[in-house]
Structure 1
Amino acid sequence: MVLTLLDLLLSLLVIPLYPVIAIVYLLLSIQRQLINLWLAYTLGDQQFGGLLSAFDRLFAVVPNANSGKTVLVVNYVKSDKEIDLLNRFQKILENQVFNQPTKFKKLTSTWNTFLGQPYLIKNQVQISDVVKTIPLPCFGEAFDDNYMKKFVGQASNLPLPKNDKALWEIYIGTRHLENMDPNLKGYVYPIFMRFHHLVADGMRLMPFLSQLAESNIFETFQIQEPPSINFMVKIAYCFYILFISPITYLKFSFWRKVDENPLHGTKLSREKLIAWATDGSSQHVKTIKKIKNRLPNTRFTDVLYACISSSFFHYFQKKNLRIPKTISVLSPRLLRLSLNDQEVLKNDFTFTSLELPIVNPQNFLADMEKVKLSMDEMRRSPGKDVLYWINYYFAALIPTTILSLISTTKTYSCFISNLPGSQNKVKCFGDCELLAGFPSAINSNETGMTLTIITFNNQFFISLFVDKATIHQQEDAQFIVDDIIRNMDIFNEKVQKTFILKNK
């Protein structure tokens, strides 16, 4: 998101409105405090769990959709012997969650709204409300990976427990999956978890789930502390963010030209389907690193996004659709995360916007340069700081009816999330191994696709969660996911040939 001279001039014209904005902010703050006092008085300490924080409230805005903003996690757990995973998981949940309702308040509460302010009602959810078994297929249908994709797509459209007021649920496989890799020794059990997004963002939810499963998936994850900045520079930057905030937000949400590509549409069906894939033992993380190291001034995520972009190219080509030059993307980004609050279940992130160039594999090197330029522009953009500042200070105060009108993402085509994990094999539940993990988060009811990539054991685990109005068949969604992995090999071969020719 680039600010032009005209944008800066318009920002100057907004300055006289700042006193009015300050007065409105004060009145909304008073209203929030009065609502908080009233609910505390009427519900009492035994029930009132507090008003939702600013970032959590963004996901309490769900117009005309059941559980529209959810985080999905599908895990495949491998054991050397047949186990009762349901009983094992229930005991863990009882000890770590339901015996500590204060620590995990959101998971034992329901939520409601009063005068536009969402709040929690404590001690409303029991383990029997949220733990369920994965239904077995009909006679003649295999209980396998394809069945799980079908089941997850259907279950994701259902309301959450407690009339859609509980914030999570877990489905556990009572039988091991069939038709797995014949070289795979042992038994593989599926787990499907669904959380309302107001529970937490991905970087806080994943460590929590890792803790539940007694897993080491995030043991090597290093939190990068932001570089120290001179105090006066920080103050000056804060004033700059304040100055450009109104125009930047308008450009982000309302003044942005709507994407013109076959994967974009504002009239979504609210019905979802899901596809996922892993690179197995081929370890394409190393492949991406090879490509990165052979291309000057290239980052790991640059190559990864180029592979994603090229999969869209192949999809358009396969369906005989017009191929656009770019596709608009939103990516969640944490601005701060300390070791102390990593286990706290909350949302505290912002978005970066990206015009992702569509990569033609025949022109990979030239298009790769376009991707790098767009990625650099995204990283330098102050837009992420503006969105964080606005959400932090205003989203907690604005009534949800108004918030639903101004927190729009309908001009964007896709969310892309990339989560790092352990570089080693992931142990879980004591003597088991996490064979595969596919998280996916629906951040909006107006954007039709969410692509999520998690990395562990030097492997990619890729999932695509898509509205049926955007992509109609699961096979087409699966094509995009599988093609991302294929592109890694294609690009590696092209770069390797170029590298050899240059060094002859």
Structure 2
Amino acid sequence: MTVGQMHPGFTWIQWAKEQGSFWHIVSRQGNFSIPFGPKMLHNEHSVNGIKSDYVSIESFISSSYLGMLTGVLIIVFLCQKLTRWKEDLMELKALNWIKSLTISDVHRFFFVVGMFLEFALLSPIFVPIIYGFKCYRAVIAAILKNRHGSHFKGLLEGADAMWAIERDNSRGMINIMAYIEETVEQQSQKEHSTSAELLLVLRKRISSRLMNSYQPHPKMFWKRNLELGYYYWSDQSTLTVEDYIRYLDHIALENDAQYIDERKLRACMNDINNRHLPDNHSSTWEILVGRQPLRDDVRKVVRFPILFRVHHSLGDGVALLRLLLEGIADKEVPSRWKRLSTFKVMNIEYILKEASIQPILKKNAFQKLLKAIPNTQALYAWKRKNLAILKAIVTAPSYFYEVSHREVDNNCIHASELVNQKVVSWIHEEETSNTHWVNVIKRTKQLVSGARFSDTFLTALSSSLQKYFIRKQGDIPKNITVVLPTRVQPELPQLKLHNCFSVAMQTLPVRSGIQLDDPNRVDTLRGHLEQIKQHSDNLRSSSDYLINYWIMTSVAGLFPDTILRKILTSAHSTLAISNLPGPHQKPRINGHELKNVIFFIPNIGKTAVGLTLLTYGGKLQLGILADRAVIQNEEDAHSILLETINEIELMGQILQDA
């Protein structure tokens, strides 16, 4: 059928004027009994008495076309609405933010801006000084390179140099202790002692995997030297694998006893943990294998202790734990990192397999171009990163001022000066026990939205310290300052021995523990957790970690030893707390599981107490290392850990009752 001319005076524009809203028109598109659009004449008909017939819209516009047109119009409409809603939301957020401002917020803003402007005015003095030391450091490196030739392996960088700054009363050592376990029956049937077998296996593995012609981590075998005011690495070490891996000190026993207990082992650890490393403390690690086991009469097993002593300049806790698990284990550990192992480089089958799939992995130019184009997520990450850097630059001067004027803690475990005597203790959550401390902490943090694992642990520690202060000094400090280290970059697929972490100070309120007879005990626990979380949120929303990381990596290595010691001396904090998530699956050494891994962090500056927690195999392992200037015996140190565990168990009981 052909379409004729429109009725005179009745056009599309006139028809549109007589219609209702847009949505009324759209709602009629499925009902073609009602004419849609201006009525039109067929060539064979006429109007006003003459044969006529109105032709509806479906005769020249299909339903699919109308549907597509409607969809486009709806999308345009929604886009306009969404844009408007977004603008309204931003205006509302800005309005709410302005309403939430207090006088202290305004004062804080002007203080930060004022300090930044003051620093900008003084920058012509600071910048030449920094670049002067940078040039001086380059000259020292050139001199040492000329003196030692190919044996010179470079100056210590950033955080490595910071940990090289140590004193006799607080050396930068990380001590990692674990056990190898076997049954009493197995031990009695052996011709050779388990400790001798373990010592031989460790020496062979370190020698073949890490000390051969190809060294995946040569930094392990370099010497740390000090010359012309700067620390540097050299490969002139004459140590052998026998020097690095030795027997643990013999522990004196009464009445020719064969087994030691934890009390004896703690006393031995007190003497060892701050001791020099081999080669007059210029090496970076050693492994000590215990010859005298501990005996568990209930389970009828014996445990041989192994101590891994590593200098912090070699790497941070995560890197060192990975080195331990991947370097000496029977095979690659399917741990929480589960990354590409560096030892696959030495596996010819792995190399051939990678070579066979390499052509498949090659991408054409178009795919590379698409990959190079940043997506929305990448743009958001870039924006967030640069805003964080800008915020750190602006707030850095005010941060330095506040740290220098921060009030020093005053309590019985804060030292004015450290002594060269340490005390250690630990608590293991045994795999055979019915306790579930990790799960209790995870459940408790759900009481407060956004709370973290560390917030819950700090809540329990706060109550433990309150009881300790009551016993030791009578009065209770309102707050103490704790140092919290954290990694600032994710783990790399291949293990790299470096210090990639930062530290910051957080206020920890000291509060009383939970009482089971308190009818509002759940609300009390929630209130304590919210208070801790607020301090944690304040720290994480600040630029403290980023500023300290910049100081540790970019500034610390510029200055010589004498200046760096004065810059890094801190007397504000009471204790340091390190939380390290370990692997779920336990590695094996010579067929034996490595059990109850625990580590101890060093005392730095005047921070005399270091507390650690490690989740290993789904169980919680706690350790404490303190200077005897503030904690004189193992019982006092152990009581802090024990009361912390008691608070965690009370949390579990309260949640179960609720």
Return the alpha-carbon distance in structure 2 between the equivalents of residues 412 and 167 of structure 1: 27
Aligned positions, number:
487
State whether residues 173 and 274 of structure 2, in contact with CA within 8 Å, keep that contact through their aligned partners in structure 1: no
Q: Which residue of 2 aligns with 1:428?
A: 588
Deviations along 1:263-315, one digit per CA (max 9) or x if unpaired, are: 11221113111010012221311121222234444322211111122111121
Q: 1:320 offset after TM fit, Å?
A: 4.8
Task: Find the partner of 1:361 among 508, 513, 523.
Answer: 513
Of the two structures, which has the highest relative contact order with CA contacts closer than 8 Å and spacing of 6 or more? 1
Change (3 A) 1:5 1:262: farther
Q: Which residue of 2 aligns with 1:29?
A: 134
Task: Find the partner of 2:176 among 54, 73, 85.
Answer: 73
Write out aligned runs for 1:478-497 (5 A): 478-497=638-657
DSSP-derived class of the 1:79 partner: strand
Matched, 1:462 2:622: yes
DSSP-derived class of the 1:58 partner: helix
Q: 1:430 offset after TM fit, Å?
A: 4.1
Q: 1:395 offset after TM fit, Å?
A: 1.2
Q: 1:123 offset after TM fit, Å?
A: 3.9
Change (3 A) 1:469 1:185: same
Change (3 A) 1:339 1:235: closer
In structure 2, stretches of 5+ residues that fail to align are 1-104, 188-193, 340-376, 515-523
Matched, 1:135 2:285: no
Return the alpha-carbon distance in structure 2 between the equivalents of residues 155 and 133 of structure 1: 13
Q: Which residue of 2 aligns with 1:348?
A: 500
Return the alpha-carbon distance in structure 1 between the equivalents of residues 531 and 206 of structure 2: 48
DSSP-derived class of the 2:470 partner: helix
Counterpart code for 1:53: E
Deviations along 1:226-270, one digit per CA (max 9) or x if unpaired, are: x85454554343233223223313423x22110122211221113
DSSP-derived class of the 1:38 partner: helix
Q: 1:350 offset after TM fit, Å?
A: 0.5
Counterpart code for 1:380: S
Matched, 1:159 2:276: yes
Specify the structure having the higher radius of gyration (Cα). 2
Return the alpha-carbon distance in structure 1 between the equivalents of residues 563 and 334 of structure 2: 38
Change (3 A) 1:421 1:139: closer
Q: Which residue of 2 aligns with 1:97?
A: 210
Deviations along 1:310-341, one digit per CA (max 9) or x if unpaired, are: 11112122335321111111111111023235
Write out aligned runs for 1:438-453 (5 A): 438-442=598-602, 444-453=604-613
In structure 1, stretches of 5+ residues that fail to align are none
Larger deviation, residues 230-239 vs 464-473:
230-239
DSSP-derived class of the 1:361 partner: coil
Deviations along 1:151-172, one digit per CA (max 9) or x if unpaired, are: 1111123222211222222210
State whether residues 274 and 465 of structure 1, in contact with CA within 8 Å, keep that contact through their aligned partners in structure 2: yes
What TM-score comes out, normalization by structure 2 length?
0.70
Change (3 A) 1:157 1:237: closer
Q: Which residue of 1 aligns with 2:290?
A: 173
Return the alpha-carbon distance in structure 2 between the equivalents of residues 409 and 30 of structure 1: 27
State whether residues 170 and 420 of structure 2, in contact with CA within 8 Å, keep that contact through their aligned partners in structure 1: no
State whether residues 603 and 627 of structure 2, in contact with CA within 8 Å, keep that contact through their aligned partners in structure 1: no
State whether residues 332 and 352 of structure 1, in contact with CA within 8 Å, keep that contact through their aligned partners in structure 2: yes
DSSP-derived class of the 2:488 partner: coil
Matched, 1:116 2:229: yes
Return the alpha-carbon distance in structure 1 between the equivalents of residues 236 and 325 of structure 2: 24
DSSP-derived class of the 2:558 partner: coil
Counterpart code for 1:244: T
State whether residues 284 and 458 of structure 1, in contact with CA within 8 Å, keep that contact through their aligned partners in structure 2: no
What TM-score comes out, normalization by structure 1 length?
0.90
Q: Which residue of 1 aligns with 2:166?
A: 62
Change (3 A) 1:322 1:222: farther
Return the alpha-carbon distance in structure 2 between the equivalents of residues 96 and 385 of structure 1: 36
DSSP-derived class of the 2:497 partner: coil
Matched, 1:392 2:553: yes
Q: Determine which structure has the larger helix proportion and give its number.
A: 2
Counterpart code for 1:478: H
State whether residues 144 and 152 of structure 2, in contact with CA within 8 Å, keep that contact through their aligned partners in structure 1: yes
DSSP-derived class of the 1:374 partner: helix
